[in-house]
């Protein structure tokens, strides 16, 4: 599939999808508490998304059974919510959510601490978030895709953290996953030339230790191989003639 350039109408719909998704994340963040289950978060997230007249895009996507991916501590991404999986004070939890508004997708993820978390966990979350912003400094028309990837990697690795290789960001629009793939690490190939009207989901997944991951038997949950904790930060962005526009903030 070719990388698509969105029309002004499509961009307007993706702005609205992103605005709703940003609000969804804000409401979820306000309601996180020790003792709640990962299922509670999913339930709340689905209600919020539907209250805005949107469809949760992850629900039943390739058989994924929930609306919000809830990944705790050494779970990197795509954690499946469970009624008996409770959050404890000191945990970190990554929430990944997607919405469809009038046929257009937005995709974003955040990692939060539950109650008081230790300084290492705070640093992991903050570096992961900042690596996204370091990356999108290069999200400009005329740059190569690889410039974004390389900047994310350089920043995260300068703190001794790992950059997950087995999962990548992606184009987004009328489909959740469109071309191009967007790695969070540099490759020799420069990648496509960025052009105004491209919409991209950039999503660094950063680990405390080794970047190697394993899949659980549930076929979804991705965990660090070494048991170190991981964080995830993602937004849907629009390439413009100037600075990128972050649609899901």
The residues of the shown chain that bind ligand MF3, judged by CB under 6 A, are 58, 61-62, 64, 69, 78, 96, 107, 109, 170, 201, 203, 234
To which residue do tokens 């979350």 refer? 125
Which of these ranges, 61-69, 137-145, 200-208, 221-229, lies near Co ion under the rule CB under 5 A? 200-208
Structure tokens at 200: 């991209």
CB contact set of 178 (below 8 Å; sequence gap of 6+): 1, 3, 4, 170, 171, 172
Shorter beta-carbon distance to Co ion: residue 15 or 114:
15
Candidate list 92, 114, 201, 230; residue touching Co ion; CB under 5 A: 201
Report what 58 binds from ligand MF3, Co ion, none; CB cut-off 5-8 Å by kind: ligand MF3
Instruction: Tell me whether residue 170 is annotated as binding.
Output: yes
Report DSSP state, residue 61.
Answer: G
H-run or E-run covering 29: helix 8-31
Binding to Co ion, residues 128-167 (CB under 5 A)? none
Instruction: Tell me whether residue 234 is annotated as binding.
Output: yes
Instruction: Tell me whether residue 177 is annotated as binding.
Output: yes
Nearest to 32 by CA among 94, 82, 77: 94
Per-residue interface string for the shown chain with Co ion, residues 20-59, x marking contact by CB under 5 A? ----------------------------------------
Strand order in the sheet with 235-238: 178-182, 169-171, 199-202, 235-238, 245-246
Distance CA(55)–CA(136), nearest Å, equals 28
Known binding site for substrate: residues?
A: 78, 177
Feature table: binding site: 78, 96, 107, 170, 177, 203, 234
């Amino acid at each position: 599939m070719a990388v698509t350039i969105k029309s002004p109408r499509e961009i307007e719909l993706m702005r609205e999808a992103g605005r709703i998704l940003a609000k969804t994340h804000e409401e979820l963040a306000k309601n996180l508490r020790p003792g709640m289950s990962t299922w509670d978060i999913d339930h709340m997230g689905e209600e919020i998304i539907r209250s805005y007249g949107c469809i949760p895009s992850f629900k039943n996507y390739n058989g994924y059974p929930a609306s919000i991916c809830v990944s705790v501590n050494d779970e990197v991404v795509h954690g499946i919510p469970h009624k008996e999986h409770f959050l404890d004070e000191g945990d970190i939890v990554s929430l990944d959510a997607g919405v469809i508004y009038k046929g257009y997708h937005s995709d974003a993820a955040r990692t939060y601490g539950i109650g008081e978390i230790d300084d290492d966990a705070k640093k992991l979350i903050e570096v992961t978030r900042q690596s996204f912003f370091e990356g999108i400094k290069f999200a400009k028309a005329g740059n190569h895709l690889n410039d974004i990837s390389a900047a994310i990697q350089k920043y995260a690795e300068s703190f001794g953290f790992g950059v997950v290789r087995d999962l990548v960001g992606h184009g987004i629009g009328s489909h959740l996953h469109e071309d191009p793939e967007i790695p969070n690490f540099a490759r020799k190939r420069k990648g496509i030339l960025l052009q105004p009207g491209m919409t991209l989901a950039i999503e660094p997944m950063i680990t405390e230790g080794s970047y190697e991951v394993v899949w659980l038997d549930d076929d979804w949950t991705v965990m660090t191989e070494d048991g170190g904790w991981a964080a995830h930060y993602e937004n849907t962005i629009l390439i413009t003639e100037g600075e990128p526009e972050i649609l899901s903030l």
